[in-house]
């Protein structure tokens, strides 16, 4: 199978800061690839190099069979790009924005309507509204429509769901899965780890490097330690107590719950329960849990810190 994006040993520094450090990445044609990592991991820099907006310091890169350093002109026809910041004309209406990008790519809204229909149909009732007056979720849908209108081979989305409410975020990911059915390769970055499970392949990115790659299940199945979830109304108090238990490798809060990682499978639920009950009488409940991508990420970060 052909690869849409092939990157070897890519390096990029801004002054003394290493943004990308020997980065390797392969995205298969038609793939739905997620780049997961916190802010500052280098996701945006990587995407800007792929879209030929930045030049790499060294390393090789192929996008859609072209080299973004040299063939950026041809590459522009093949790429759809949605930057992290909302970058459309706020003083133009929804339809004017879309029609502008269609014409710039020498096509029309009608010609590729089928492609953007799952996205655009949701904002079409507001097509005469100025883009600046749209809600965050609708802005993202418009930006996606504009990035898609010229039927790109490869769609690059830089944190499309950042700053968008939870419902719109789920909608957005569903639309992405619909779009890929047209054979469009999608590379999407996000800091929200739980979104990543929808991709066929993901890479965890940190400090300019890819620390782990594979399908979401591959990545989570690499997590060998036993992990429990603790539910309680007294999160902070119990967090403090649990962290004192030597058999627990890490205790972290995830939303309203705590995730407890057991060192070398040393202890079971009952032993943790009795350890906590010795120090307080708050109510809590511990259950077995399947490690998520975020657990893998934190596990990696803690192993790096301990070295």
Partner 1 sequence: MKRFRAFLNKEFLHIFRDVRTMMILFLIPVFQVLIFGYVIKNEVKDAKVAVLDFSGDAMTAALVSKLDAANDIEIVKTFSSYDQIEASFRANEIKAAIVFENNFAEKFNSKKTVDLQIILDASDPNLANLLNSYISAIANNYAQDKNIGAAKINVSVEPRMLYNENLSSAYMFVPGTMALILMVITALMSSISIVKEKEMGTMEILLVSPLKPIQIIFGKLAPYAILSIINAVSIIIIGNLIFGVPVLGSPLLLLFVSFVFILMALSLGLLVSNIANSQQVAMFISMFGLLLPTMLLSGFIFPIKNMPLALQYFSYIIPAKYFLTALKSIMLKGLGISYIWKEVTILILMTIAFIGISIKKFKIRLDS
Based on C-alpha coordinates, what's the Rg of the chain?
22
Q: Which of residues 276-295 bind partner 1 (CB under 8 A)?
A: none
For partner 1, the binding residue among 28, 89, 192, 275 (CB under 8 A) is: 89
Q: State yes or no: residue 109 binds partner 1 (CB under 8 A).
A: no
Q: How far are the Cα atoms of 21, 262, 270, 278 from residue 243, in angstroms, in the given order?
A: 34, 11, 16, 14
Q: State yes or no: residue 186 binds partner 1 (CB under 8 A).
A: no
CA distance 146 to 277: 57
For residues 113 to 152, the per-residue mask of contacts with partner 1, x marking binding by CB under 8 A and - elsewhere, is: ---------------------------------x------
Listed ranges 81-89, 163-171, 240-248, 295-303: which one lies at the site for partner 1 (CB under 8 A):
81-89
For residues 13 to 52, the per-residue mask of contacts with partner 1, x marking binding by CB under 8 A and - elsewhere, is: -----------------------------------x--xx
For partner 1, the binding residue among 72, 192, 275, 300 (CB under 8 A) is: 72
Q: State yes or no: residue 231 binds partner 1 (CB under 8 A).
A: no
- Of 131 and 211, nearer to partner 1 (C-beta) is 131
CB of 91 to partner 1, least distance (A): 5
Q: State yes or no: residue 81 binds partner 1 (CB under 8 A).
A: yes
For partner 1, the binding residue among 9, 24, 62, 92 (CB under 8 A) is: 92
Provide CB contacts within 8 A for 281, sequence distance 6+.
none
What is the enclosing helix (H) or strand (E) of 261? strand 257-262
For residues 236 to 275, the per-residue mask of contacts with partner 1, x marking binding by CB under 8 A and - elsewhere, is: ----------------------------------------
Identify which of 66, 80, 171 has the alpha carbon closest to the alpha carbon of residue 121.
171
Sign of CA dihedral 273, 276, 280, 286: negative
Q: State yes or no: residue 70 binds partner 1 (CB under 8 A).
A: no
Kindly report the backbone phi and psi dihedral angles of residue 41, in degrees, each rounded to the nearest multiple of 5, phi listed first.
-75, -20
- Longest Cα–Cα distance in the chain: 71
What is the enclosing helix (H) or strand (E) of 36? strand 32-36
| Structure-block tokens of residue 252 | 């972290």
């Amino acid at each position: 199978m052909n690869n849409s994006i092939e990157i070897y040993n890519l390096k990029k520094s801004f002054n003394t800061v290493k943004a990308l450090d020997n980065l390797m990445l392969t995205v298969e044609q038609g793939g739905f690839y997620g780049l997961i990592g916190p802010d500052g991991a280098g996701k945006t820099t990587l995407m800007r190099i792929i879209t030929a907006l930045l030049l790499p310091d060294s390393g090789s890169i192929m996008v859609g069979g072209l080299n973004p350093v040299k063939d950026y002109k041809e590459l522009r026809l093949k790429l759809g790009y949605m930057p992290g910041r909302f970058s459309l004309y706020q003083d133009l209406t929804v339809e004017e924005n879309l029609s502008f990008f269609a014409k710039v790519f020498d096509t029309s809204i009608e010609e590729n309507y089928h492609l953007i229909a799952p996205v655009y149909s949701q904002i079409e009732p507001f097509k005469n509204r100025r883009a600046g007056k749209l809600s965050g979720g609708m802005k993202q849908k418009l930006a996606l429509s504009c990035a898609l209108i010229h039927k790109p081979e490869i769609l690059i989305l830089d944190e499309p769901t950042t700053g968008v409410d939870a419902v719109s975020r789920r909608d957005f990911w569903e639309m992405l899965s619909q779009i890929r059915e047209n054979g469009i390769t999608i590379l999407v970055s996000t800091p929200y780890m739980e979104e990543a499970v929808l991709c066929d392949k993901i890479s965890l990115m940190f400090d300019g490097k890819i620390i782990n790659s594979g399908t979401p299940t591959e990545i989570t199945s690499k997590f060998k330690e036993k992990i429990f979830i603790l539910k309680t109304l007294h999160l902070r108090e119990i967090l403090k107590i649990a962290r004192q238990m030597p058999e627990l490798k890490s205790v972290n809060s995830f939303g309203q719950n705590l995730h407890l990682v057991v060192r070398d499978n040393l202890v079971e639920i009952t032993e943790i329960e009795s350890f906590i009950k010795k120090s307080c009488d708050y109510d809590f409940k511990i259950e077995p849990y399947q490690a998520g991508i975020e657990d893998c990420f934190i596990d990696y970060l803690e192993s790096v810190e301990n070295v």
